[in-house]
Amino acid sequence: MRVVALEAAHLAALRLQDAQAVLAPLLDEPGYGAMLAGAGPAFAGLADGAVIGCAGVVMLSAQRGHAWALLGKASPAGFVAIHRAVVGFLDRQPLRRVETAVDSDFAAGHRWARMLGFSREGRMRAYGLDGRDADLYARVRI
C-alpha cells in the first residue's frame, strides 16, 4: 500500500465497505471531499492504483481533533496495511485529545477503535446521518 496526501478525488474514487454504505451520498456531494482534505491532516491509501481507504483528523482546536476513516472493501492483508498506516498517523498527531464516533451497532468498528488506542466514553443518540446512535471514543494524552 502506498500512502499519499488526501485529495478530493480520492474520496470520489473510494468504493465504501458495506458497513459505511450509508455515507456514500456524502462522497457524491460537491465540495465534501475538498472540505475533508482541508479540515486537517489526512491521507489516502492506494493499492494497485485503487483507493482502499482514506483517513484524517478534522481539527476542532489546537489540542483537539475528530478522527475519521472511510474504508473500501479491502482484503485482510489490505486492512493490516491500513491499520498500520492509521496507527502511525494518529501517533504523529500533536493533539492532546482525538475523538472518533462509531456506529453503535458496528461491532468491528468498536474492535478497531480499541485496537487504535481509543477508549469508549459514551453513547450519542441519533448521531448518524440516518438517525442511528453512535458511541464516542477518545485517545487522550495526559
Domain boundaries, the chain: 2-140
Q: To the nearest 10°, the Cα dihedral for 63, 2, 78, 80?
A: -50
Report residue 12: phi and psi, to 5°. -65, -30
What pLDDT digit, counting tens, does each position of 35-70 carry? 999 999 999 999 988 999 999 999 999 999 999 999
The pTM (predicted TM-score) of the whole model is 0.93
Residue 138 to residue 12: CA distance in whole angstroms: 28
Q: Across all residues in the chain, what is the average pLDDT?
A: 93
What pLDDT digit, counting tens, does each position of 83-109 carry? 999 999 999 999 999 999 999 999 999
Report residue 127: phi and psi, to 5°. -80, -35
Instruction: Point out which residues pair with 53 in neighbouring strands.
Output: 45, 71
User: How far is it between the farthest Cα atoms of the chain?
Assistant: 40
Q: Give me the CATH topology for the region 2-140.
A: Aminopeptidase (3.40.630)
